[in-house]
Amino acid sequence: MPRWKLVALIAFLSYAAHAQWLNFPTPGTPRTADGKPDLTAPMPNALDGKPDLSGVWMHELTSVAEVKRLFGNRFDDSIKVDVPGMEIGTQHKYAFDILLDYKPEEAMLRPAAVELQRQHRRGAGAESAAEVCTGVAGFPLAGLLSEPIKIVQAPRLTLILYEVQNLRRQIYTDGRTLPKEVNLPDYMGYSVGSWDHDTFVVETAGFNDKTTLDAAGHPHGEGLHITERFLRRDFGHLDVEMTFDDPQMYTKPFTIKIPHNLMADADIFEDFCENEKDRAHLGKH
C-alpha cells in the first residue's frame, strides 16, 4: 500500500442503496422551452427577501485525468474502487489535498501537524472492514466526497444534510453567537449564520480532533474555526468559500473556493454501512 493512500476515501464511505421518486419535477423550478431546468434563471428569494439557498447541490468534480495531473506519481493507478459512486473522479480535488493550491515552500503546518499527518497517512486506508463502519468523514471532508449535499433554509435555522453517512449540520440564524465554551466537541462543529448583503456567512467552531481535513491526512485541532461564505449567483450556481483558522496546527489561515451546481429534480438518499457486506467492494490493490 503506498503512503499516498487514496483508498483513505473509502474508509469514510459506505455502500448507499438508492431509491427515488422517478420523473418528479421539483415544483418552482424554472424551465427552458424543452422542459429542462433553467440553471441560469434568476436566483430565488426566501420570504424575508434574502437569497434562498435551498436545494440539492453538488460540488464540481475532478476527473481522473485531472487527479493524475495534480498529483503525478503520488496517484496510484493500480488502486481500483468497485463501490458505485466512489470511483476516483467523483470527488472534489480538495478531498485529496486541502492545501493543494499552496506551493511546498509555502508550508504552513506546525511541527505537531506534520507529525500527526505522518501518523494519519500510516494508519489511513481500508485495511480492515471495521474501519468502513467506524470512520467518520467529518467536516469539511463529508462535503467534498462523492455525494451531494442538501440545504434547507428556514427563518431561524438552516440545515445542511450530507448524503455521506447521513451527517447533518444545524446553522442557527436566530441571533445566538458561538458558545464560548463547548462541553462536548463535535465532529461537525457548532455553527451560527448571518447575512452580509446577499452572502450567507457561517461561523463554525467547537470541533473535536478525531477527523482529518482531507484524505492526505491534514489534521486539525479542537481550536479550529471555519468561516464559510455562500453566494448563490443564479438559480443553478452556488459559490462556497471556506477559510480555516487553526493556530494550533497551522501558522496562518488558508482559504479554498468550491463552486457547486444545482441538481434540479434530484434528492439525497440514506447511506447506511453494511459492515462485512462492504468488504467485497473495497479497493483492490
Please give the tally of structural domains in the chain. Answer: 1
Answer with the residue of higher pLDDT: 162 or 103. 162
DSSP state of 102: S
Report phi then psi at 25, rounded to 5: -75, 135
The residue-averaged pLDDT of 112-129 equals 69
pLDDT digits (tens, 9 = 90+) for 21-78: 667 888 999 999 999 999 999 999 999 999 999 999 999 887 777 777 776 655 554 4
Sign of CA dihedral 8, 238, 258, 201: negative
- CA gap 215, 44 in Å, rounded: 35
CA distances to 94, 100, 169, 212, 246 from 255, in Å: 11, 11, 20, 16, 12
Contact present, 96 and 61 (Cβ < 8 Å): no
C-alpha cell at 123: 494508519
Nearest CA to 62 among 10, 114, 29, 97?
97
Answer with the residue of higher pLDDT: 268 or 74. 268
User: Is 155 a member of any domain?
Assistant: yes
**CATH number, position 117:** 2.40.128.20
Contact present, 166 and 252 (Cβ < 8 Å): no
User: Is 284 a member of any domain?
Assistant: no
pLDDT digits (tens, 9 = 90+) for 199-256: 999 999 999 999 999 988 999 999 999 999 999 999 999 999 999 999 999 999 999 9
Q: Which domain holds residue 59?
A: 6-13+45-272
Nearest CA to 8 among 112, 126, 97?
126
The whole model's pTM is what? 0.83
User: Is 18 a member of any domain?
Assistant: no
